Structure 1
Amino acid sequence: MKIKLSRIDDRLIHGQVATVWAKEAGAGRIIVVSQEVSEDDIRKTLVKQAAPPGIKVNIVDPEKAVKVYNNAKYADETVFYLFTNPMEVVTMIEAGIPIQSINIGGMQFKTGRTQVTKAVSVDETEVAAFRKLAEMGVELDLRVVATDPKGDFEGKLKEAGL
């Protein structure tokens, strides 16, 4: 399996992802890796309905995503991984999935989170996961849209007092 793009965006498949990021990735399949979404039939249906034409979509938990990645049957597939949070990215990498860069695109503000940019808010657990990703050598690519310049995520965390 060839990983074309990995992105964190808790809105999952929406206008930007369907029209811009899916084209940028050039992948034949979007795999949403989320324990929470994989257990929610309504969200799964909505995500699949939002998929761009001609691109297959699967919604799986991290454990199944690892099994699929390691299945020789999918060796020639190109994939765009879509996550809702950084903890599941850490899980995938610790299981041996070679994610080298993660695009951080959208994590909505809610109680208990600190706003880092207009589009990204994080809590303490997420900050720890992002720092672990950085320690693992994963590029933290902070961009809402593909044409944005890459942002300094660690710098933004520090600016936010994290």
Structure 2
Amino acid sequence: MEIKLSRIDDRLIHGQVVTVWAKEAEAGRIIVVSDEVDNDSIRKTLVKRAAPPGIKVNVVGLEKAIRVYNNPKYEKETVFFLFTNPLEVLALVENGVLIKSINIGGMQFKTGRTQITKAVSVNKKEAESFKKLAELGVELDLRSVVSDPKVDFSTKLKEAGF
């Protein structure tokens, strides 16, 4: 399996993903990796219906994502992994999924989170996951859209006190 792009965006498939990131990825399939979304039949259906034309969309939990990645049946697939948070990314990387870079696009502000940028807020557990990903050699690429300059998210976390 060739991972063309990996992105964290808790809105999942929306305008920017459909019109910009999916084209940038040039992948044949978007795989949404989320136990929460996989277990929510309504949200799962909505995500699949929002798919860009000509691109297959699957919503899977963490365990299935790891199995699919390691299955030789899918070795010729080109994929765009989409996540809602860094904990899921870290779980895949720690289980041998070769994610070299993660684009951080959007994590909405909620109680208990610290705002890092206009579009990204994290809690302590998420910040720790990002730090661990960086230690494992995963590039933390903070950009809302492709045309934005790449910003190292590790620096932004440090500036916010993480």
Using the size of structure 2 for normalisation, the TM-score is 0.98
Q: Secondary structure at the match of 2:79?
A: strand
Q: Which residue of 1 aligns with 2:60?
A: 60
* CA displacement at 1:159 relative to structure 2: 2.0
Rounded to whole Å, the distance in 1 between the matches of 2:102 and 2:96 is 15
Rounded to whole Å, the distance in 2 between the matches of 1:143 and 1:150 is 6
Unaligned runs of 5+ in 2: none
Q: Secondary structure at the match of 2:4?
A: strand
* CA displacement at 1:70 relative to structure 2: 1.0
CA deviation string 1:121-151 (max 9, x = no partner): 0000000000000000000000000110001
* Pairwise CA RMSD: 0.6
**Percent same amino acid at aligned positions?**
74
Rounded to whole Å, the distance in 2 between the matches of 1:140 and 1:122 is 14
Rounded to whole Å, the distance in 2 between the matches of 1:3 and 1:103 is 13
Q: Are residues 1:47 and 2:59 paired?
A: no
| One-letter amino acid of the counterpart of residue 125, structure 1 | K
Rounded to whole Å, the distance in 2 between the matches of 1:153 and 1:83 is 16
* CA displacement at 1:52 relative to structure 2: 0.2
Q: Are residues 1:122 and 2:122 paired?
A: yes
Q: Displaced runs of 4+ in structure 1, greater than 2 A?
A: none
Unaligned runs of 5+ in 1: none
Using the size of structure 1 for normalisation, the TM-score is 0.98
Q: Secondary structure at the match of 2:88?
A: helix
Rounded to whole Å, the distance in 2 between the matches of 1:157 and 1:90 is 17
* CA displacement at 1:77 relative to structure 2: 0.5
Q: Secondary structure at the match of 2:82?
A: strand
CA deviation string 1:32-68 (max 9, x = no partner): 0001000000100110111100000000011000111
* CA displacement at 1:161 relative to structure 2: 2.2
Rounded to whole Å, the distance in 1 between the matches of 2:157 and 2:73 is 40
Rounded to whole Å, the distance in 1 between the matches of 2:161 and 2:142 is 18
| One-letter amino acid of the counterpart of residue 103, structure 1 | N
CA deviation string 1:81-105 (max 9, x = no partner): 0000101111101111100000000
Q: Secondary structure at the match of 1:51?
A: coil
Q: Which residue of 2 aligns with 1:108?
A: 108
Rounded to whole Å, the distance in 1 between the matches of 2:149 and 2:60 is 31
| One-letter amino acid of the counterpart of residue 12, structure 1 | L
How many residue pairs get aligned? The number is 162
